Amino acid sequence: MANPTKALHTTFLLVWLCVSSIPVHAQPTYSPVTQDPLKFDSDFPATMNELTIMSDESRMYGVIYIAQGEGPHPTVLLLHGLPGNEKNFDLAQAMRRAGWNVLTFHYRGSWSSEGDYAISHCLEDVHATLSFLRNEEMAQKYRVKADEIVLIGHSLGGFAALMAAQEDENIQSVASMAGVNFRIAIDETKMDTPEGFESMRQAFDESVSFLNATSGEALLNEILDHREEWDLLNYVDQFAEKSILLIGGTRDPVVPVSSHITLLAEEIIKAGGKQVKPVALESDHAFSDRRIELAHILVSWLAEQRSP
């Protein structure tokens, strides 16, 4: 008859040998995309604050996610699209866990922010918000490292981020997620023809219910009026001096990867850019089924942008 005590000792010995053979250094790597912070800073915890930002005498409403730690922290200005149904709060939370503050806001005339909505106003609003972050009092209050601000935007927000970056020499890093080039969009949709304009007007009219004092027709006319000024290819020399992340979705019918993402990256490289990174994800315009992968890409890229 088998000795149960001896069998039990043998089992324990085998388990101990298996466990002891695991290298001590094989510890799981912390991922801010999928894990909560491993430590808690009771003096300077992660938090969030509602914001009111002024732009041309109109109040814009937003929120800033503040990373834990005394700081000051590098800060992302996160820009949504038109009208902004996808607000990318999941990305904001991941970036905060990675040690970044994240400010996101609603442009004038959108989502209860005061004023009239226009694409040109959106571009102005980005600069107004950058001024807000760089204000000494605001930077101290929200633990912002004012000389380390990165722009990240989606769709219209990607376009706005790139436009602001080429105008502001202090912005050294910018990421565009499915960012539109309006000059190319005009050609692709034929919105400068009666048939194309009417088709796009109907599509835009479905998006303006959250926007003040505008219409699909007004937005299309604004795009047509600025077709040259809003061609991102005009600014490749400025982009070549910056770190640029361009992300597109291979199933995106709104902003096709080849014409809006790949082409811009190629032209920046031709202009001498050495820090441009194009990425194509197998997803749609909102990256609906690649949110974790998208967050990983952004957080990894942000880590490369940190100043020494």
pLDDT in tens, 101-110: 999 999 999 9
Check if the beta carbon of residue 48 is closer than 8 Å to that of residue 64: yes
Mean pLDDT value across residues 152-163: 99
pLDDT score for 294: 99
Residue 308 has pLDDT above 80, yes or no: no
Q: Which pLDDT band holds residue 28 (cuts at 50, 70, 90)?
A: low
Task: Say which residues have a Cβ less than 8 Å from residue 53's Cβ, sequence separation at least 6.
Answer: 59, 60, 61, 62, 105, 128, 129, 132
What is the percent of the chain where pLDDT is above 70? 91
| Residue 308: cis peptide before it, omega within 30 degrees of 0 | no
Residue 138: the pLDDT is 98
CB 232 within 8 A of CB 131: no
Asked whether the beta carbons of 58 and 127 are under 8 A apart, the reply is: no
For residue 36, count CB atoms less than 10 angstroms from its CB and return exposed for 0-12, middle for 13-18, buried for 19 or more. exposed
Percentage of residues of the chain with pLDDT beyond 90: 89
pLDDT tens digit sequence for 108-154:
999 999 999 999 999 999 999 999 999 999 999 999 999 999 999 99
Which tokens sit at 229? 């000024």
Q: Stretch 53-59: mean pLDDT, rounded?
A: 99
Q: Read off the pLDDT of each residue in 64-81 and give the average, rounded to a whole number.
A: 99
Q: Are 227 and 180 in contact (CB under 8 A)?
A: no
Across residues 40-58, what is the average pLDDT?
98
How many helices and strands, by DSSP H and E, does the chain display?
Answer: 11, 8
Sheet-wide strand order for 101-105: 47-55, 58-66, 101-105, 73-79, 144-154, 173-177, 243-249, 276-281
What integer is the mean pLDDT of 29-48?
A: 96
Q: Angle at the Cα of 90 (from 86 to 94), degrees rounded to 5?
A: 145
| Domains of the chain and CATH, by start | 39-185+235-305 (3.40.50.1820)
Pick from 231, 236, 245: nearest CA to 180: 231
Q: How would you classify the pairing of strands 101-105 and 58-66?
A: antiparallel
Q: With CA atoms as reference, report the closest residue to 95 among 175, 178, 179, 180.
A: 175
Q: Is a pLDDT exceeding 50 seen at residue 1?
A: no
Q: How far apart are the first and last CA of the chain?
A: 69
Q: Residue 114: in which H helix or E strand, if any?
A: none
pTM of the shown model: 0.90
- Mean pLDDT value across residues 269-285: 98
- Is the distance from CB of 149 to CB of 133 less than 8 angstroms? yes
Nearest to 38 by CA among 29, 26, 50: 29
The helix/strand/coil state of 152 is strand
